[in-house]
Structure 1
Amino acid sequence: MDIQQYKQMLEQPWGKIQYEITFAQLAHLENKKILDFGSGFGLVSQFLAQNNEVVAIEPQEEMLFAYSNHRYEKILGSLEQVKIFESESFDIVLCHNVLEYIDENCRVNYLSELKRVLKRDGKLSIIKHNQVGKIMQAVVFSNDVDQALDLLNGNEFKSVSFSQGTTYTIDELLEMSKMKLENYQAIRTFYSLQMNEVKTKDNWLEKMTEMELAVCDLYPYKDISFLQHVWLVKE
C-alpha cells in the first residue's frame, strides 16, 4: 500500500470531490455516536466530529495519526477492536471502501460484528465499489479494455494505493449482513469518466460536485456510478 501516493491523490481536485459528495450525504447526522471502521486519514471522522461523538478504528498507524489536529477518538487496529465494544453501542457505523479488500469468506464475520455494535434501528453506512461503474471507467477514462473484461468476468481489481480487491453487489451485501436496505446513493457518476486535465479548471470542483449531488439519488445514475453509498438498517 502506497500511503503517500494515496494522500497526494486526495489533495487533487479529483480526490477532494469524492469527499465533498460523501460529506453532503452524511451532513444530516447530528448528536449521534458514530463508529468509523477503516477510517483511513480520518477525513470523514473529522467532518462528523463537528456535530457527533466519533470513534475511528484504522489498522494503518501512519494513516490514523496523519493529522494531529483531528479531534475524535482514534483506535489502532481492526475487527478485534470492534469486539471490545458492548452490543448496541453506536447509532451509526461507517464502513467505507473496506469490504472490497477483505477476504470474501470473512466479510460475513465483519458485517456481523459491525451490526452487533449498532443500536436497534441504527444504520450502517457502506461505500462500495460498483462493478458497472468500474467497467465504464476502465473503458472510457483509462482506455483499458483488458481491465474492463477482467472486471466483467468478476476478477480482482488492482487499486492504485491499496491491495487487490473484489466487488460485490447490493443483493450480496443484504444477504451477508441480514439487514434492511434503506437507500443507496451514487458517488462518482460522471467525474470518473472525464480526463484529469479538465479537473483543474476554475470552478470545476464546485460545478461537478453540484452535478454529482443532483443525480446521486436518481435512477439510472446510482446504478452506473463508480461507487455506491448503501444505507442499511438494523431491525
Structure 2
Amino acid sequence: MTINVEAYYKDMTEMPWGKLFYQLLFEQIDKNIPSGAKVLDFGSGLGFTAKHLAKNHEVIAYEPNSQMISYSVNEGNFRQLTGDLDGFIDVMKEEKQKFDFIVIHNVLEYVSDKKGILSLLVNLLNTGGKISIVKHNPKGAILSQAVLQDNPKEALNLLNGEEKKSENFGTINEYENHFLEDILGGAGLKQNSLYGLRIFYGLSSNTEVKFTDEWYDNMLELERKTYENSDFVNIAFFHHLIFKA
C-alpha cells in the first residue's frame, strides 16, 4: 500500500473537511462509549482518535506503519504500539489484555484477511464491549465521482465493480456492511448503530466557501441532523457502525 502521509496529515489538520470528519466522528463515538472505558485503537494512523479518547479513557493504540507513527499527534497521553501484527498479538497475550471499546477505522479496506482481523478483535473484547468500525460506502464513492469529481465515467466504472483508489492510500478494497453483519453477528455481536459520515460536505468542489465560518457551522449542523437518517446514510461517503458483544 502506497501512503502519502504528509498530504493526509495536512488534510486532517488544516482543511475544514478533515476537521468536520473528526468532529462528527468523535460526537458519534462519545454517544456510544461507556465512561472510563479501556480502549484499543487498532490501526490508529496519526493518532487523532486515540488522542481524543485518551482525555477520558485508558487507550492503547496500535499502528504498524512507521510513516504514520512519525506524524503521530500523540503527546504521551496514550500508549502507542507498533511493529508487525504477530508482535502485537504477542503483547496482547502476554499482558492478557481485554477492552471495553475497540476502534478500527478505515483499516479493513487495506488488509487481505478481514475475517482474521475481526476475529482477533472480537477475542480482545470484554463481555458487553463495543467495536466501532468506519468504512467506505461504495454508493458514496460513486456519488462522489459523479458530482465532486465531475467524472461520470469513473462513477460508471465503480458501479460496474472496478477498483477504487485513494489519493493518499492507493487501492481501496471496499466491502459491504453485510460482511460485517455476517462475521460479527456469527460471533455473537449485534449492530447497535449505523451512522453516515461525509454525507454532504464532500460533494461540492467549491473549496473557497468551505473556509468560511458560516459554511462550516451550517454544514456541521446539517450533517448532525442527517447522520442517523437512513435515507441520507445510504449515500454517505463513509459508514460508521457500532457492534456490541
Q: TM-score, normalised by structure 2?
A: 0.89
CA contact (8 A) 1:38 1:59 kept: yes
Q: In the TM superposition, what whole-angstrom CA distance separates every residue of 1:16-68 from its partner, at most 9, and x where no partner exists?
A: 11001101111243200000001111011100000000000001223224235
Give the corresponding residue for 1:152. 159
Q: In the TM superposition, what whole-angstrom CA distance separates every residue of 1:147-185 from its partner, at most 9, and x where no partner exists?
A: 212221222211011020121111111123333211110
Show structure 1 runs of 5+ residues with no match: none
1:95 maps onto 2:104 in alignment: yes
1:48 maps onto 2:50 in alignment: no
- Alignment-mate amino acid for residue 101 of structure 1: Y
Give, in whole Å, the separation in 1 of the partners of 2:227 and 2:69: 29
Question: Which 4+ stretches in 1 moved above 4 angstroms?
Answer: none
Give the corresponding residue for 1:25. 28
Aligned residue for 2:126, secondary structure, equals: strand
Q: CA RMSD in A?
A: 1.6
Show structure 2 runs of 5+ residues with no match: none
1:76 maps onto 2:86 in alignment: no
Distance change in 2, residues 1:68/1:117 (3 Å): closer
Give, in whole Å, the separation in 1 of the partners of 2:90 and 2:64: 15
1:233 maps onto 2:244 in alignment: yes
Give the corresponding residue for 1:138. 145
CA contact (8 A) 1:133 1:224 kept: yes
CA contact (8 A) 2:47 2:74 kept: no
CA contact (8 A) 1:88 1:120 kept: no
Give runs of aligned pairs for residues 1-235 of structure 1, distance below 5 A: 1-10=3-12, 11-28=14-31, 29=33, 30-66=35-71, 67=73, 69-80=75-86, 81-86=88-93, 89-103=98-112, 106-177=113-184, 178=186, 179-195=189-205, 196-234=207-245
CA contact (8 A) 2:195 2:239 kept: yes
Per-residue deviation, 1:88:
6.6
Give, in whole Å, the separation in 1 of the partners of 2:74 and 2:97: 30
Give, in whole Å, the separation in 1 of the partners of 2:90 and 2:203: 40
CA contact (8 A) 2:64 2:85 kept: no
Give, in whole Å, the separation in 1 of the partners of 2:143 and 2:90: 38
- Alignment-mate amino acid for residue 111 of structure 1: L
CA contact (8 A) 2:110 2:172 kept: yes
Q: How much identity, in percent, do the aligned residues show?
A: 34
Aligned residue for 1:193, secondary structure, equals: coil
